[in-house]
Structure 1
Amino acid sequence: MCESVSVLMSGSGVIVEGDSVTLNCISDSNPPALNFSWFKGGTIVGSGRIYNISKISSDDSGEYKCKSINEHGEKYSDNVTLNVMYPPRNVSVLINGSGVIVEGDSVTLNCISDSNPPDLNFSWFKENETSAVGSGQSFSALQSGRFYCQAHNQHGSQRSDAVTVTVKGRLVILYISIGGVCGAAVIITMLVIW
């Protein structure tokens, strides 16, 4: 029977998307193990003493273990966790409201993304301007324009598509109100005179 079974992983430290990872099933048994199986969670994913994942992706993250079999029985190794790191992706901007605001007010933009580890920082830009106009996951836009965010972690960055913010002047609304009041006053005056 197998006395002990363990998994040795090639390399050490951080596993980044695109890397190659090799898992080696180490078995101490007499007679030597002849059959090895590999599992991710409860699903069998391979056979043989060595299990290789080339160009690893985030979908490969999970718990792995091997099963060693000889003529006297079988034994599983402890789980080994593969935690695959990757740069931000699916970066987008959510507008809190319609994106149309009155002069003097603001609209909140939120930067959403998927990454591992979670994004360390966010930068906000106005289209056709080179300097950032803000930072942080949320940004308050006070002026008209097209804005986008860029999400960063230590493995890379990605920018969102731009969203449009439109600022309507308060004076237009004031003129409409004053115009309505003045129009009513003129009509009332004409009726009184008539």
Structure 2
Amino acid sequence: MKEETSLYSGQFNPGDNISCALRGHEDYRSPSVYAPKLPSVSVRLSGEITEGSSVTLNCSSDANPAANYTWYKKNVNPDLQPLSKDPQLVFISIQSSDSGEYYCTTENQLGKRTSEYIFIDVKCE
């Protein structure tokens, strides 16, 4: 069996989908790999956020290979411990000191993206 390799040495743009195929079999491409798409953030709650309530922030992004997620709070040094390395940031008993703007990053071997900020306003009971 003859082995053949091919190397691409150009640049890829952040939105590119990359796949390969054997010469002569271009209809049978490999699955695409790509950097994370712009992550979207959402909050799961019903009504106002009050102290002591449970709040979950969700971050989602399409990526292949799968992205790693990291949550941060705006104006807090990101070199310190991130808040979470999961797609969700969970507050079991949120406090007024947790009020502020949060964002997530998604990263794989092909790139890194940062979400918009989501504002959380925790009301005192």
Query: Does structure 1 residue 135 correspond to structure 2 residue 85?
Result: yes
Which one has a bigger Cα radius of gyration?
1
Tell me how many residue pairs correspond in the alignment: 112
Q: Point out which structure has higher relative CO (alpha carbons under 8 A, 6+ apart).
A: 2
CA distance in 1, matches of 2:69, 2:26: 39
SS at match of 2:107: strand
More strand by share: 1
What do the CA deviations read for 1:106-139 (whole angstroms, capped 9, x no partner)? Answer: 31011110111111x2111110011322220111
Gapped regions of structure 2 (runs ≥ 5)? none
Q: How does the TM-score come out when normalised to structure 1?
A: 0.48
What do the CA deviations read for 1:39-75 (whole angstroms, capped 9, x no partner)? Answer: xxxxxxxxxxxxxxxxx931x6486773xxxxxxxxx
Cα RMSD, aligned residues only: 3.1
Moved over 3 A (4+): 60-66, 77-80
Residue identity matched to 1:102: T
Query: Does structure 1 residue 112 correspond to structure 2 residue 112?
Result: no
CA distance in 2, matches of 1:158, 1:96: 22
Q: How does the TM-score come out when normalised to structure 2?
A: 0.71
Aligned-pair CA distance for 1:90: 1.8
What do the CA deviations read for 1:128-165 (whole angstroms, capped 9, x no partner)? Answer: 01132222011114221110011111222111001011
User: Corresponding residue for 2:33?
Assistant: 85
More helix by share: 1
% of aligned pairs identical?
31
